[in-house]
Amino acid sequence: MLVEKLYEGEARPRTPFSAGVIRMSMSEACTRRIAMEYLGYEVSVDPASDVYAARMQDGLLHEQDIVRRLLMKGVKIWNFGERQTWVTLKLHNLFWRGHPDLFCELEGKIYGLECKAFRGEVFERYVSSAEEVLPGRFVIRDLSVLMSGPFPLMGQVQLYLNTDKSQKLGIEGWLVLIKNKNTAELAECLVPRIPDYLEKVASRWRGFWALVSVGRLPPRGFSKSSANCRLCPFFEPCWGVLSRVSPGVKELDEPALMEKVRLWREAAQLESMASVRKELARIAFGEAAIAHDSRTLKLGGLEVRVNNRSRTGLDSGYTSELLTELLARGVISSEQYDSCWSETEYTEVRVVDREPEKCKITISWEE
């Protein structure tokens, strides 16, 4: 078959994450997903698979098409192909690295240029409020469209705008050029520096390396039904048993399960009777110790000791408030705050009996 051979040898997996370095292109991604990639979790979809490689190849072809169209029109562009350079940024003790698609010179000013290609319906979302200056050519003035959607583009662009390279080239604005893969229509958006947005992006990553360096995962960044999670290669390890069950209620009456319902109720009733009986006995033993003025009683093989004890435990609610306050006052760093918590993953199956009267116990209870 021909299709079997088409992607062969084209796989171009991304370089693995290096400790302490965050890719600018992943700045808006789920931090938990990046942590799982870094920590080597098993993926549900292999990012080095042929399908993934084909998608990457498709993106590259659209980028090359934009480069070709710009060169044909005599636009001065550079930083493509083999000569592409890295840019870096240190922000809040986080080290960022990225490679901008292009730089260009327009009317004597230098801009960064990010090329994206999306299928028709995604493109339509980007240009829904844009101005169509020529047929099939749009100018996006509402910057909020780059800040929304499952994978916002704005974080990456803000990081680019603040690199040393941008300062050196005197770049004040970054152009985002979006191509409609279905129709080859184009849209552009000129993005200025937005310091608040940069802070927002960076703050998502504070404490990230402190967590992953001890093998812990940040909290989930998206809901299970979100596009981010549905397309995430770590969906199954991230959501565990929840990745295999849908929300919603199902009423079942399979005989084997109904037998387990009966057993559950019987066990619940026995547990409750057992704890009441033990408590009654404990009270009687305590009273007997007082009545017989003895700290230790021997009763038919049981040795009963009566003591005063106290136990000191952390008040987790107050501790949490205190840590938050210390963080807010800058007494502790976010890394120290994060390392105060540990997380244990487990599968909980809770059962609430809505009809406990259905329990039929044959054991007698005599008071």
Site membership for ligand SF4, residue 30 (CB under 6 A)? yes
Q: Report in angstroms how near the CB of residue 236 gets to ligand SF4 at its nearest.
A: 8
Q: Report in angstroms how near the CB of residue 205 gets to ligand SF4 at its nearest.
A: 14
Q: Report in angstroms how near the CB of residue 31 gets to ligand SF4 at its nearest.
A: 8
User: Mask of contacts with ligand SF4, 239-268, x by CB under 6 A?
Assistant: x-----------------------------
Site membership for ligand SF4, residue 38 (CB under 6 A)? no
Tokens linked to 346: 């487990």
Site for ligand SF4 in 129-168 (CB under 6 A): none
Q: Which residues contact 239 (CB under 8 A, 6 or more apart)?
A: 220, 224, 229
- Which residue in the set 52, 96, 235, 337 belongs to the binding site for ligand SF4 (CB under 6 A)? 235
User: Mask of contacts with ligand SF4, 182-221, x by CB under 6 A?
Assistant: --------------------------------------xx
Helices (H), 204-254: 208-213, 227-230, 235-239
Site membership for ligand SF4, residue 87 (CB under 6 A)? no
Report how far residue 245's alpha carbon sits from residue 247's, in angstroms, rounded to the nearest whole number.
7
Q: Which residues contact 31 (CB under 8 A, 6 or more apart)?
A: 204, 205, 208, 218, 221
Do 127 and 188 contact (CB within 8 A), yes or no? no
Site membership for ligand SF4, residue 229 (CB under 6 A)? yes
> Binding segment for ligand SF4 among 5-13, 32-40, 325-333, 355-363 (CB under 6 A)?
32-40
Phi/psi-derived region of residue 293, left when phi > 0, alpha when psi is between -120 and 50, beta in every other case: left
Judging by DSSP bridges, how do beta strands 102-106 and 94-98 pair with one another? Answer: unpaired
Q: Report in angstroms how near the CB of residue 324 gets to ligand SF4 at its nearest.
A: 23
H or E, element range at 134? strand 131-134
H or E, element range at 19? none
Tokens linked to 232: 């995430």
Beta partners for residue 111, in sequence order: 104
| C-alpha closest to that of 162 among 214, 87, 220, 92 | 87
> Binding segment for ligand SF4 among 196-204, 208-216, 233-241, 296-304 (CB under 6 A)?
233-241
With respect to ligand SF4, which residue has the nearer C-beta, 293 or 343? 343
Q: Which residues sit at the interface with ligand SF4, rule CB under 6 A?
A: 30, 32-33, 36, 220-222, 228-229, 232, 234-235, 238-239
